Amino acid sequence: MKYRKLGRSGPEVSEIALGSWLTFAGGIQKEQARATLEAAFDAGITLFDTANMYGRGAAEQAWGEMLSQHSRESYVLATKVWGPMSETDSGLSAPQIAKQIDGSLRRLRTDYVDLYQAHRFDTSVPIEETIEALLLVVRQGKARYLGFSEWTPEQIRAAVDIAGPDVFVSSQPQYSMLWRAPEAEVFDVCTAAGIHQIVWSPMAQGLLTGKYLPGKPLPADSRFAHQEMNAFQDIVWSDQALEAVQRLVPVAEQAGLSMPQLALAWALRRDELAAVIIGASRPEQVHSNAAAAGVHLSDETLQQIESALGDVPVTGPRLAMYAEEGVLHR
């Protein structure tokens, strides 16, 4: 495993992070989940990312039980706030943040989280109120550092202006070969503020594994067969993309990598990244994905990737639209 600094002032984290959205929120059996988590420790993974809304607390509760078997200093724990926990509990108002951090800590069985992230931006609350409430969480010792996910460049600049330097250390955007929107501006804005990226969906929710074939039905047990994936399909899914991914298979083979390893190494080629989040559900997936840490892709391989992708659209306005409308509850 390789490790990178998170922000100018944040902790050192593993290049590969383990996420918990569909898996630890009840998508896999408890013993399988425990084995997957233990495999992450075996592989040297230190960054574990979750959110209060994953299974409405189920993922945090599962991790609280499993992580309690490990020394608190042996891992970096990140969770998020914003998404709906009930019909009345959601958003980034001061009362909600105060309530939700306590709920997260209780489920996670810890006194603090290393990274507390605003899961999305809340346009219904003044940003000053949100930032001050998050800063209070830090002052109270309930979180060490702050982050955000899918915020616009303007929102990021405003947050840093209010909070000051070295408090926000992370940004969590969607980023992969098939979705490169953060390259346009978010990466540069964050770099100027000393903020690093922890990217989600580096394998395009599994599309870049190569298991989805053009003209074939979705495997019943696949991630894209999950109902919650409908919004993501509209972002990266197309026959054109599926065909391009199949052209990537020999590129990965020539590089001596699996398709997931190629996708992860491609994302990690950027110095702006601190880590990529994987959503493994089996121990062998964890170990295979972890092997992407430290992999250097040659210029020839990078050129072959671009040639294979051809004219597949890799960015656009749709993600911002979904985030604003609250459709992307990831």
- Model confidence pLDDT, tens digit, residues 229-279: 555 555 577 888 999 999 999 999 999 999 999 999 999 999 999 999 999
Spatial distance between the Cα atoms of 248 and 221, rounded to a whole number of angstroms? 23
Determine the structural domain holding residue 274 and report its residue range.
3-206+270-294
- Model confidence pLDDT, tens digit, residues 179-194: 999 999 999 999 999 9
In a domain, 187, yes or no: yes
Residue 271 has a CB neighbour count (10 Å cut-off) of 11
In a domain, 134, yes or no: yes
Predicted structure pTM score: 0.91
Tell me the C-alpha to C-alpha distance, in Å, between residue 307 and each of 94, 181, 301, 302, 311.
49, 19, 10, 9, 9
The domain tally of the chain equals 1
**Known catalytic residues?**
54
Spatial distance between the Cα atoms of 166 and 237, rounded to a whole number of angstroms? 37
Give 70's contacts (C-beta < 8 A, 6+ positions apart).
41
In a domain, 35, yes or no: yes
Q: Where are the beta strands (DSSP E) in 82-142?
A: 113-118
In a domain, 243, yes or no: no
Tell me the C-alpha to C-alpha distance, in Å, between residue 25 and each of 107, 175, 204, 216.
13, 22, 20, 28
Nearest to 164, CA basis, from 324, 3, 327, 9: 9
In a domain, 224, yes or no: no
In a domain, 71, yes or no: yes
The confidence score (pLDDT) of residue 201 equals: 94
In a domain, 276, yes or no: yes
CATH number of the domain to which 144 belongs:
3.20.20.100
In a domain, 320, yes or no: no
- Model confidence pLDDT, tens digit, residues 117-145: 999 999 999 999 999 999 999 999 999 99
